[in-house]
């Protein structure tokens, strides 16, 4: 049993670090103004939006007790922070996660 757990951790770690390493190696040749970079940027935004939408529309656990109004208010405030902070996604996601963390 301990060997299986060790192997599972080893394989998942290798897969994670290999993909990150290959991303690092391939990113050296990608310019920030290229279409490929913009595509990856859009992909990151859409993934974040999908996770946020799923959290708001189909909440799990204690968050499901919160009303739709409060959930959508947090989303609107997060969008306001996003645009005020000159489109810095990290700040709005940080606000979003802290508001929902207070429901627990």
Parse the chain into domains and list their residue ranges: 1-30, 32-104
Spatial distance between the Cα atoms of 81 and 96, rounded to a whole number of angstroms: 10
pLDDT in tens, 16-71: 888 888 888 877 777 878 888 888 888 888 888 888 888 888 888 877 888 888 88
15 pLDDT exceeds 50? yes
Predicted TM-score (pTM) of this structure: 0.52
CA-to-CA distance for 27 and 76, rounded, in angstroms?
A: 34
């Amino acid at each position: 049993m301990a060997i299986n757990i060790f192997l599972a951790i080893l394989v998942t770690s290798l897969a994670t670090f290999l993909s990150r390493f290959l991303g690092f190696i391939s990113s050296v040749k990608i310019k920030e103004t290229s279409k490929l970079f913009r595509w990856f940027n859009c992909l990151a935004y859409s993934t974040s939006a999908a996770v946020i939408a799923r959290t708001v529309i189909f909440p799990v656990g204690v968050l499901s007790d919160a009303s739709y109004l409060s959930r959508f208010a947090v989303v609107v405030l997060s969008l306001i922070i996003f645009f005020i902070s000159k489109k810095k996604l990290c700040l709005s996601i940080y606000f979003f996660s802290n508001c929902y963390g207070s429901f627990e």
